[in-house]
């Protein structure tokens, strides 16, 4: 009986791979504050993030050449992240830019899957949630790149990074508040480029919800007409 239940759960995950992706992304977000304080924990988180993106590629069932290309890209990004944590600070912009590019590519692939003309499924709903989370992580990486070139790009009442800068959990938290238009106000932009990036993320957040609602409404309306 236990074996049958296990087989059923594995079969469910294989049919709904994006649900596993959402669960792992949420776990990644919860573990951020616990591990980011140490160098080893930060490297574990960086590796875990790229492993999650590889899981996303698996969830999308893309062609094998694309998988190998993304795997090579992930390997280069992990090397840059590890080197940065080991003291090679000059690699930090490359590491963050590579992470942003990698997350962005996977996000676009997820959006193509979610917004195609095929019927809406449970897996696609979870895929939409995963894509929304990845959009926030993409902009968190971009904010990190900006903060390297403009150290005072953001003002914060409490910043947990060195020299009063925002660390990765701070950037991720700020990105989610921007994407959802929550705006608690404890972190604010102070340079024109920071404001420009925030405007772009806000527009994408609003457009994403609008496109997704329109897609669902169109699908349900079509099913109603056919019935």
DSSP state of 217: H
Mean pLDDT of 75-87: 62
Could you tell me if residue 11 is inside a domain?
no
Could you tell me if residue 1 is inside a domain?
no
Mean residue pLDDT across the chain: 77
| Residue 86: per-residue pLDDT | 59
| Residue 141: per-residue pLDDT | 87
Could you tell me if residue 3 is inside a domain?
no
Phi–psi pair at 24, nearest 5 degrees: -70, -40
Contact 26, 129 (CB under 8 A): no
| Residue 114: per-residue pLDDT | 79
Q: Select, from the ranges 95-104, 138-147, 192-201, the one with the highest average predicted confidence (pLDDT).
A: 192-201
More confident residue, 54 or 139: 139
Rounded-to-10 torsion of CA 211, 108, 123, 219: 30
User: How many domains does the chain contain in total?
Assistant: 1
CATH number for position 136? 1.10.287.70
Could you tell me if residue 12 is inside a domain?
no
**Could you tell me the residue range of the domain that residue 54 belongs to?**
17-226
| Residue 201: per-residue pLDDT | 93
Query: At 61, is the secondary structure helix, strand, or coil?
Result: coil
pLDDT at 128 over 90: no
d(CA 117, CA 43): 39
Quick one: pLDDT band at residue 6, thresholds 50, 70, 90? low
Could you tell me if residue 144 is inside a domain?
yes
Mean pLDDT of 104-116: 81
Could you tell me if residue 56 is inside a domain?
yes
> Minimum mean pLDDT among 42-51, 126-135, 205-214: which range?
42-51
Could you tell me if residue 8 is inside a domain?
no
Could you tell me if residue 5 is inside a domain?
no
For 148-204, how does the pLDDT look when each residue is reduced to its tens digit (9 = 90+)? 888 888 988 876 666 777 888 888 899 999 998 887 888 899 999 999 999 999 999
Angle at 72 between CA 131 and CA 58, to 5 degrees: 40
pLDDT at 144 over 80: yes
| Residue 166: per-residue pLDDT | 84
């Amino acid at each position: 009986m236990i074996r049958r239940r296990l087989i059923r759960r594995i079969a469910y995950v294989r049919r709904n791979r994006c649900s596993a992706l959402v669960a792992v992304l949420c776990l990644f977000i919860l573990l951020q504050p616990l591990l980011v304080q140490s160098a080893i924990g930060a490297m574990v988180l960086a590796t875990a993030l790229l492993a999650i993106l590889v899981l996303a590629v698996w969830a999308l069932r893309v062609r094998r050449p694309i998988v190998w290309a993304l795997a090579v890209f992930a390997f280069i990004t992990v090397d840059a992240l590890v080197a940065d944590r080991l003291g090679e600070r000059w690699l930090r912009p490359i590491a963050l830019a590579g992470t942003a590019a990698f997350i962005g590519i996977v996000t676009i692939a997820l959006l193509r899957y979610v917004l195609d003309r095929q019927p809406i499924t449970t897996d696609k709903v979870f895929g939409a949630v995963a894509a929304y989370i990845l959009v926030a992580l993409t902009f968190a990486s971009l904010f990190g790149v900006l903060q390297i070139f403009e150290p005072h790009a953001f003002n914060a009442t409490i910043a947990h990074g060195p020299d009063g800068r925002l660390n990765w959990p701070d950037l991720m938290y700020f990105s989610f508040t921007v994407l959802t238009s929550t705006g608690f106000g404890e972190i604010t932009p102070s340079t024109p480029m920071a404001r420009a990036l925030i405007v772009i993320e806000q527009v994408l957040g609003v457009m994403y919800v609008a496109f997704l609602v329109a897609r669902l409404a169109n699908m349900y309306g079509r099913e109603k007409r056919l019935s």
